[in-house]
Each structure stands twice: as structure tokens, then as C-alpha cells.
């Protein structure tokens, strides 16, 4: 690997990489995007030309074996995450893999084990934990700003036909065989990883999941309860077949509360008995940029792993338990 810079290749240069992640690889220090891949090579070429990327491929193996590529970002639908991550690890190329980490916890565990066994680095794209708002939440919790955390209430509600998070040509998120389990598997990784980031590895997880509306072949309504260390109880509710849109998280402690949104994250509210403090945050041009910067530092040997394979497995296990897979 080039010691001075990480040269990236993207496998799956689809919609998620247009703004959220792709441009950031050329904006963080000592990072450069040099190759992209998509099964439709014409679309890969178009992406490369629009983003100033020198090479494009229609075959993932060719990108992985490109000697000018130091590290691989796997941004395909979840079904292919394990296959391409394993190929890259076997080629000795560090991997930054999109969330959900894999189709299920078993696949994620195989990926984490392969990284550990090979000694090749692996990071998961639970990128919100590096964004300023959520780092502020963590620092306030560590400072005891709300005393001892006791309860976490999270709601993620959307109408069936107006999700802000479906912008792909094929609705693969509705297909459990490709996505792992509907919109819950697309959105909950961000939320549950933040809880892992804030409170540590869960001690107990349970849930109920149903296909209430029957509009597609995946559950659209899920509830989950988690016991985190230090007696922190989490309750989450996800529904993608109701008229109301709601993105809300509240952490209630012995001396106050924190309220914020996960996906429309511009304000954090700290409430105490006699006061209310609001923290404002500017929207990020590329939401993954803070995480990618930390991943680059880790791949260069200059910082810790910002989101390990083991943490990715824990998030997958939480989701799998809530929907009854395990």
C-alpha cells in the first residue's frame, strides 16, 4: 500500500455514492478515488467521467486486482457485501463496507472473522457516529449532562410511498433476499449503531416484526427492546406504512433529557428541570466525509478503527433478533 495516500476503488457506484460518499474520497486528506465499478459498465463510465475518476470497470474482480487500488469501498446492495469484501480481503486490500454490513449476522460474522484472520483492515459505514451532532450527544452523556441515562425512546415512521431513502432505479430495499429485510434493514443500522456507540454492547435484545400493510415481501413494522450496560433501556418503533412522518430520539436521564433526529440532524436539545439548551449543526455536503477521514487515518496506521467489523456484527445481531431471525 502506498504509505502517503490511500487510493480508493468503489464497487457499486450507484445513487448512494453520488453525493453522500463518493466525492468525499477526494476531499479528505491523503485520499484519492482512482477507480469505480458497476455491472453496467456504461453507467460506471458515466459516473467516472462526471466525478473525474480515471478508471472504470464492469467487473468487481478487475477493480479489486487493479494494482493502483489500495483500498475498496463496497457500496452494492447488501446481498453482495460479503462476496466482495471477502475478495478484497483475500487480495490484501482494506475494506470500507456499506451498511447494513451484510444480509444477516452470520454473513457479517464471517466477514469480521476473515478480516481478523487475514490481518487486513475492515470498517463498516455506520458513518453517523463521526458526525458532529452525534459526537456532541456522546460527549454530553460522558459529561453527565443528563445524569445517569435511564430510557431511550426512538421512533422512525414513514408513509409507504414517500421514503426519503429510496432513490434507486430498482426497489431492492423491498426485497429481503437482497436487502436483508425491507426498510428496517436499510435505516435501523444507523440508529442501532448510535446506541452501541453511546452505551456499549447490548446485554439483551428482543422484538416483534410484521408485514402489516402487505404491500411488498418484507416486514414494514418492527418494535425492539434493548438492555444496554448500566441499566439503560431502549425502545424503538419503526413503521413504513403509516401516514405520519416522524424521526425522533429521546434519551432520558436522572437529571434531564436529550432530544434529536437521526436523519434530519440539525439540532440537539438538552432539557433540564429549569433550562433548555439548543445546539445547532450545519448540514454536511457529504454526510460520510467525517467517517471517511477517520477510515483513511486508520488504513494509514494513524488512528483507531472508527467502526470495526465486530461492531458491525453486533448491529446485525440486534436487527436479526428484533425481526426473529435469531
DSSP characters over 55-90:
EEES-HHHHHT-TT--EEEE-S-GGGHHHHHHHHHH
175 shares its domain with 56: no
| Tens-place pLDDT, residues 175-200 | 999 999 999 999 999 999 999 999 99
Q: Is 204 in the same domain as 117?
A: no
Query: Dihedral, CA atoms, 181, 187, 189, 193, nearest 10 degrees?
Result: -160
Please tell me the distance from the alpha carbon of residue 226 to that of residue 219, in angstroms, as a whole number. Answer: 20
Instruction: Answer yes or no: are the C-beta atoms of 85 and 95 closer than 8 Å.
Output: yes
Domain assignment present for 316: no
Number of structural domains found in the chain: 2
Is residue 314 in some structural domain?
no
Task: HSE, CB side, 13 Å, CA atoms: give it for residue 125.
Answer: 26
Domain shared by 13 and 110, yes or no: yes
Question: Is residue 1 in a domain?
Answer: no
Task: Clarify whether residues 136 and 74 are in a common domain.
Answer: no
CB 92 within 8 A of CB 117: no
Question: What pLDDT, in 10s, does the model give residues 207-245?
Answer: 999 999 999 999 999 999 999 999 999 999 999 999 989
* 88 and 230 in a common domain: no
Beta bridge mates, 225: 206, 235
Give me the residue label for grid cell 403509516.
242
CA distances from 141 to 66, 166, 191, 230, 270 (A): 44, 33, 17, 13, 11
Contact between 126 and 103 under an 8 Å Cβ cutoff? The reply is: no
Interval 116-127: pLDDT, tens? 999 999 999 999
Residues 316 and 100: beta-carbon distance below 8 Å? yes
30 Rama sector, left if φ>0, alpha if ψ -120 to 50, beta otherwise: left
Would you say residue 271 has pLDDT above 80? yes
| CATH number of the CATH domain containing 70 | 3.40.50.720
Both 53 and 147 in one domain: the answer is no
Confidence band, pLDDT 50/70/90 cuts, at residue 14: very high
- Report CA dihedral (291, 18, 68, 94) to the nearest 10 degrees: 30
Amino acid at each position: 500500500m502506498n504509505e502517503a495516500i490511500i487510493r480508493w476503488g468503489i464497487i457499486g457506484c450507484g445513487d448512494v455514492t453520488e453525493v453522500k460518499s463518493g466525492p468525499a474520497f477526494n476531499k479528505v486528506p491523503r485520499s484519492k478515488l482512482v477507480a469505480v465499478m458497476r455491472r453496467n459498465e456504461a453507467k460506471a463510465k458515466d459516473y467516472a467521467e462526471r466525478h473525474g475518476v480515471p478508471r472504470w470497470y464492469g467487473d468487481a474482480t478487475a477493480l479489486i486486482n487493479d494494482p493502483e487500488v489500495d483500498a475498496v469501498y463496497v457500496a452494492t446492495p447488501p446481498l453482495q457485501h460479503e462476496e466482495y469484501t471477502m475478495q478484497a480481503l483475500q487480495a490484501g486490500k482494506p475494506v470500507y463496507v456499506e451498511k447494513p454490513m451484510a444480509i444477516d449476522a452470520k454473513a457479517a460474522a464471517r466477514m469480521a472473522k476473515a478480516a481478523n484472520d487475514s490481518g487486513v483492515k475492515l470498517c463498516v459505514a455506520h458513518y453517523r457516529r463521526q458526525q458532529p451532532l452525534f459526537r456532541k450527544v456522546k460527549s454530553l452523556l460522558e459529561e453527565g449532562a443528563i445524569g445517569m441515562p435511564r430510557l431511550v425512546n426512538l421512533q422512525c415512521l414513514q408513509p409507504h410511498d414517500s421514503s426519503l431513502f429510496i432513490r434507486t432505479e430498482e426497489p431492492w430495499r423491498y426485497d429481503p433476499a437482497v436487502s436483508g429485510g425491507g426498510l428496517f434493514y436499510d435505516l435501523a443500522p444507523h440508529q442501532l449503531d448510535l446506541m452501541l456507540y453511546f452505551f456499549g454492547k447490548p446485554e439483551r435484545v428482543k422484538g416483534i416484526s410484521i408485514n402489516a400493510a402487505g404491500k411488498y415481501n418484507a416486514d414494514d413494522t418492527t418494535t425492539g427492546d434493548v438492555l444496554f450496560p448500566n441499566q439503560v433501556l431502549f425502545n424503538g418503533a419503526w413503521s413504513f406504512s403509516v401516514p405520519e412522518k416522524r424521526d425522533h430520539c429521546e434519551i432520558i436521564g436522572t437529571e434531564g433529557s436529550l432530544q434529536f433526529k437521526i436523519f434530519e440532524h440539525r439540532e440537539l436539545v438538552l432539557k433540564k428541570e429549569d433550562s433548555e439548551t439548543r445546539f445547532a449543526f450545519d448540514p454536511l455536503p457529504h454526510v460520510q466525509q467525517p467517517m471517511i477521514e477517520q477510515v483513511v487515518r486508520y488504513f494509514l496506521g494513524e488512528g483507531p478503527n472508527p467502526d470495526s467489523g465486530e461492531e458491525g456484527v453486533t448491529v446485525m445481531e440486534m436487527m436479526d433478533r428484533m425481526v426473529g431471525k435469531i
